[in-house]
Chains A and B, each alone.
Chain A
Amino acid sequence: MSHRLFFWPALIAVTLAAAPLSAEEAGTRVFRQTVTVFPQLDLQRSLGPDVYLRAIYECLAFGHFRGTAGLSLSFTPFTIDGYFLELAADDLFGTGLGVHLKAMGDEYPEYGRAANTLQPYLVWRYAFVDLAFGVAWRFLVTDPNWLWCLFDYDPFMVEAIFYYKIGFVFELFDKAWTISVSLSNQDEFYVGNFGTFTLLIGNRLTLDENWSVFFDFIWRPAGTIALTAVNSDFIFRLGGRLSL
């Protein structure tokens, strides 16, 4: 039932992704590269604090097509704990609609396992609204020889998870200060379960046309969907972004 439920949205997403841009848009050959680096402090109530150093590279082509890669380094233990590759086509035909496909690996070598997540999802960014809906297929990897293979998908170890984000972005002072608020079950290096939500409050200050700095506060409660919420994680990020 669950897979049939997502058959038609997936088909629509694939169709939209295959649709060519207009010649006018394709003629606008603009490449814009962005590098984002930030340390992250994660206060997890059961496991204690952890510090991460994360970097995301993004290449935007023609104002619509986007390729993104991310790498996360954990300090307890000291290891690469996450990475992803993402392809996207955004703002198709000026509708604000976009299709994304993301392959993400969350590594837990200290536990002898990894989670490879395949995430096809739709986004709609229009005015101050930022929505994302899709599915995340999370594949558990327990074979130590395959922990670092991003595309190891064992069908007997899969979980299907509804992927969502309901966000709002407010640009103030001539876009110098951006405030974003979102409710979701995911972020760049994480997909939680359907029964949980992540509240993100982000601030980004644009310094000039190349540089910006940001501060994010993230709260992840546990047990939320069935209304027995307690704090699970508090996350703080402070980073910089360079656009070329």
Chain B
Amino acid sequence: MKRSIRFTVLSFVALILSCNLDGWGWLFSSDVDDRYADNQSLTAPTFAGPLSEPFSFVVIADTHVFPGNDTSSYFMDFINQLIPGPNGDRFVLVCGDLVQDGALADFQTYADEAADIESLGVTVYSVPGNHDLYNNGWPNYRAVLGPSMYTLAAGPVRIVAIDSANGTLGGPQRAWLEGVLASRAEPYCVTFTHMEFFSEGITETQQWTDINEAYSLMHLFETSGVNIHLTGHTHSYFVRTINGTTYLTVPSFAHGFVRVTVSGGVSWEVIYFS
């Protein structure tokens, strides 16, 4: 009995260490309400330049940058797939888990890769995922990338970046989100965040703890006319449309991305790397 307990504990510790995860994060982590307070003093990104239909934008997720992960080749493949030009891909949304374990150097590597994309005239907007918070990663994220929750207008599209890295929004962010969605003037609205609402497989670790909160958010999106709610986290493509709002989970960056086209409506296609 003692041996089996010892084996279980050691296996768990080995798992934590091998994944370079934050063991204390099992109980405590960067708090979403604290990040909301931090966001008040950070400058939200904007979209520069005119933008009118038709155009497209691209959504990626779970880049998981860390030393030893050959993400540079993924970024190279991705850049080669971008469609430049005024009617092409105008910006990129990244749905969290940008880095593996919250390290400052990895956020800087990610920012360098994003700069390569932006050199093509394609702006990159990011939100944090749970991996970005590991090992007190939020100060590193904030120092390199800025706010974790923000909104901007990109031509006819209202974009809302939501911080769901903890699997809950918290009261202040929830109130902010309701205000943003209620006051938008653009004909289209796209929200993007990390955690998805639906678990497709029995071992998927969908992280909205409280389905009351998840259903409340879905109701908010649907009654606010959100066209697409974009998420990552599970590394697998998934789409479901409910009451006019499409909930779309993007495949992991190693496998592909989603291109959203705005032309008299909003449509999308998933593209896998060959």
Q: Which residues of A contact B (CB under 8 A)?
A: 1-3, 5-6, 44-48, 106, 108, 110-113, 115, 135, 138, 140, 142, 157, 159-162, 190, 192-196, 220-230, 232-233
Given contacts A220-B210, A223-B166, contact A195 B205 (CB under 8 A): yes
Distance between B157 CB and nearest chain A CB, rounded to angstroms: 25
Given the complex, which residues of B lie within 8 Å of A142, measured CB to CB?
A: 242-243
Q: Which of B21, B134, B167, B242 gathers the greatest number of chain A CB atoms within 10 Å? A: B167
Supposing A160-B202, A195-B206 touch, asked if A230 and B32 sit within 8 A by C-beta, the answer is: yes
* Proximity bits, B214-254, A CB within 8 Å = 1, else 0: 01101100000000000000000000101100000000000
Q: Is B166 a contact of A227 with CB atoms below 8 Å?
A: no
Q: Does B113 contact A (CB under 8 A)?
A: no
| B interface, over-half SS | loop
Known: A220-B210, A226-B21. 14 other contacts (CB 8 A): A44-B212, A108-B216, A110-B219, A111-B216, A113-B219, A160-B202, A192-B209, A193-B206, A194-B206, A221-B209, A222-B167, A225-B207, A226-B25, A227-B23
Do the beta carbons of B25 and A227 come within 8 Å of each other? yes
Measured between C-beta atoms, what is the minimum distance from B248 to chain A in Å? 16
Closest residue of chain B to A230, judged by CB? Answer: B166
Cβ–Cβ contact A228 & B170, under 8 A: no
Residue of chain A at shortest CB distance from B138: A228
**A-B pair number, CB within 8 angstroms:** 159
Question: Chain A residues with Cβ under 8 A from B29's Cβ?
Answer: 223, 227-230
Report, as a range, how many residues of chain B touch the other chain: 35 or more
Q: Write the chain B residue with the least CB distance to A106.
A: B211
- Complex A-B, nearest 10 residue pairs according to Cβ-Cβ distance, in ascending order: A195-B205, A227-B25, A223-B167, A111-B219, A222-B168, A2-B202, A222-B167, A228-B130, A222-B209, A228-B29
B190 to chain A, nearest CB (A): 21
Question: Which A residues touch B168, using CB under 8 A?
Answer: 45-46, 222-223, 230, 232
Q: What's the minimum C-beta distance from B68 to chain A, rounded to whole angstroms?
A: 20
Contacts of B206 in A (CB 8 A): 159, 193-195
Interfacial residues, chain B to chain A (CB-CB below 8 A): 16, 21-23, 25-33, 130-131, 133-134, 165-171, 173-174, 195, 198-213, 215-216, 218-219, 240, 242-243
Given contacts A228-B30, A228-B133, contact A44 B213 (CB under 8 A): yes
6 sample A-B contacts, Cβ–Cβ < 8 Å, listed by A number: A108-B215, A135-B202, A194-B206, A196-B167, A220-B210, A229-B28
**B171 smallest CB distance to A (angstroms):** 6
B218 contacts A44, C-beta separation under 8 Å = no
A120 vs chain B, min Cβ distance (A): 13
Q: How many Å from the CB of A40 to the closest CB on chain B?
A: 13
| Chain B residues within 8 Å of A233, by CB | 209-210
Verify B201–A220 contact, CB threshold 8 A: no
Q: Point out which of B21, B205, B209, B212 has the most chain A C-beta atoms below 10 A from its C-beta.
A: B209
